[in-house]
Each structure stands twice: as structure tokens, then as C-alpha cells.
Structure 1
Amino acid sequence: MDIYAVREGIADAARAVVLPNGIPKLTSTPYLPGSVTVPHFFVGDYTVDFDKTMRRGMDEIEFTCGMVVSRSDDLSGQKLLDRLLSGSGEGSLKQAIEAARGAPGEAALGGAADDLRVTRVQSYRFYEIAGAQYLGAQLTIRVIGDGST
């Protein structure tokens, strides 16, 4: 798998999330940002388990992604973040990202991987990016794909 192509695919998929009226469109990057425009999703840290099948047949990558929102109004920020972290609904990052799995038998993320799944939300807290405080959380995404490419 081309790791950066997978990161780009995840970031593109996240942009499909539907936000409530009056909330700016979700910005999304396939890398750790130096600064953000909220609400912002980014594909961050990852670990790779090589050789999940013989002869470089499959690798598994676990991405830790971040989602941050404004904390100018704590209640509205938490409501928006909760909507984004929900398991389903048009405002769900899980639903938006997993829509990029493709149809049965098709490759995920436009061909960058075999399959993916959003598995966990954690670390709901305040984050500092470029000296500013944001409310946020982390999402874990597991991706599997061809280890020989």
C-alpha cells in the first residue's frame, strides 16, 4: 500500500460529512497540520503491521486521526464534536469514511487499499495546535491492503 495515498483517501472521505447549517465546511488534511481552520479532521500517527499474510500478501495500518472543533462556546463545540463522533447519521465521520470502502469486491479509498474500518473514538479533551486550544478527540481507523505494492 502507498501509505500517503491511503492518508489522502481517508481525508477526502471525511470531507463528505454533512454539518449543521451555519457550521463551516469540514476542513481535512492527510497529515498533521501546523495550524487548523475548524472544524478540522486530520490523519495523524500510524502503525504498520507487515506481513499479515505470507509473501507480502497483506499489511495492516492503524491510523490515529484527530478531529478538532472550536472551543469558543463549550456547549456548541461539544454538540458538534459528539455529532461528528457518532456511529451513524449524515454528520458521522465513521459513516462518511466507511462509505469509501466501495461496493463488495471493490477496492477501498479509490483503489488505495483493500478495506478499512473506523474502530474507536478516544481521548475526548482539549488539544493545543499552534498555540491555540481546541476541543477534540481521536479516531482509530484500521486499513488492510496489498503489502507488495
Structure 2
Amino acid sequence: MNTIQTGIPGIKCYRNIPENALVLPAVIVQPVTADFDVAFGRGTDQIDFTLLVLVAYNHLEVAQDNLDPYLSGSGSKSIRECIWNNKTLGLEGDVNAHISRMYDYGKRYNGEGQGQAIEQLGARLDLVVYTRGTV
């Protein structure tokens, strides 16, 4: 997502888990569901994404200190604030996006299948996007 990568310098966004090593810190955008019945007459669609936020895991406290600013409600590294300030995600038409929740905080990932030798610490954010059904 260009919105996050442009709004938060130093973070790399991926549309799926790459076969090659991730550049950390990273956000992997995963589509989850789409609801086309939010409003009658195709007035509004809701599309839900999971944002997997990952940082290098070297020492637990250091990794948490590196992860927390991305999950915070505000600040120069806050994904929530970045989306809040760019609700259209840079798209044409009626688009309104927000982060609805955070979960799986502190889950460790070993990087297998990514060509990654560095362990990672992560959390998931739910991104909810509303758009006109005709877009």
C-alpha cells in the first residue's frame, strides 16, 4: 500500500509474503473479506484487510520498542494515524478507510518460506475500507 509506504518513511509494504527476504520493518497486506451488501443498490461495499506488521526480533524489549510506534494511535510511525490522515488511500472515488483493531501482538515469526534468517516480532491490524459499489 503506497499510502503507508509513502506516509511512513523506512517501512516496506508487500501485497503478499515474498519468496525472497523481507525488508524490515514491513507490512504485509492480506485481503480477508468483502461485503457487497452494506447498502442497497450497490451503494457501499466493505472490504477488510489484515495488515501484518513485522519488525526484526533480536531482543524482546528492543523488538517491542521498535514495533509499538507502528501500532500507536499517533506519531510519525503510526499506521493508524497515516490511514486516518489519508482515508481515501490515494484512490479515486468515494473511499473511506480506517484501522478498526489490533490483535496478535507480540507473535513471533521465524521467516521460513520467506528466505528470511532473521526472526520477526509482529502484530496484526484490521483495515476496513468502504467504497461505492460502483467503483
TM-score for the superposition, normalised by structure 1: 0.77
Q: Which residue of 2 aligns with 1:127?
A: 109
- How far, CA to CA, are the matches of 2:17 and 2:130 in structure 1? 22
Deviation at 1:115, TM superposition (A): 0.2
Q: Deviations over 1:11-41 (max 9, x none)?
A: 21212125xxxxxx11112333334111111
Report the residue type matching 1:110 in the other structure: G
Give, in angstroms, the shift of residue 130 of structure 1. Answer: 3.0
Structure 1 counterpart of 2:2, from 6, 9, 12: 12
Matches within 5 A, 1:1-149: 11-15=1-5, 16-17=7-8, 25-34=10-19, 35-101=21-87, 108-112=88-92, 114-124=95-105, 125-131=107-113, 132=116, 133-149=119-135
Percent identity between the two aligned chains: 28
- The letter for the 1-side match of 2:89 is L
- Give the whole-Å Cα distance in 2 for the aligned partners of 1:30 and 1:78: 24
Deviation at 1:83, TM superposition (A): 1.2
Deviation at 1:81, TM superposition (A): 0.4
CA separation in 2, counterparts of 1:80 and 1:41? 14
C-alpha RMSD over aligned residues: 1.7
- Partners of 1:139 and 1:61 in 2: how far apart? 14
Structure 2 residues not aligned, in runs of 5+: none
Gaps spanning 5+ residues in structure 1: where?
A: 1-10, 19-24, 102-107
1:14 alignment partner AA: I
State how far apart, in whole Å, the 2-side matches of 1:97 and 1:57 are. Answer: 23
- Aligned residue pairs: how many? 127
Decide whether the 8 Å contact of 2:44 with 2:133 is kept in 1: yes
Segments ≥4 residues shifted beyond 4 Å: none
- How far apart in 2 are the matches of 1:110 and 1:92? 18
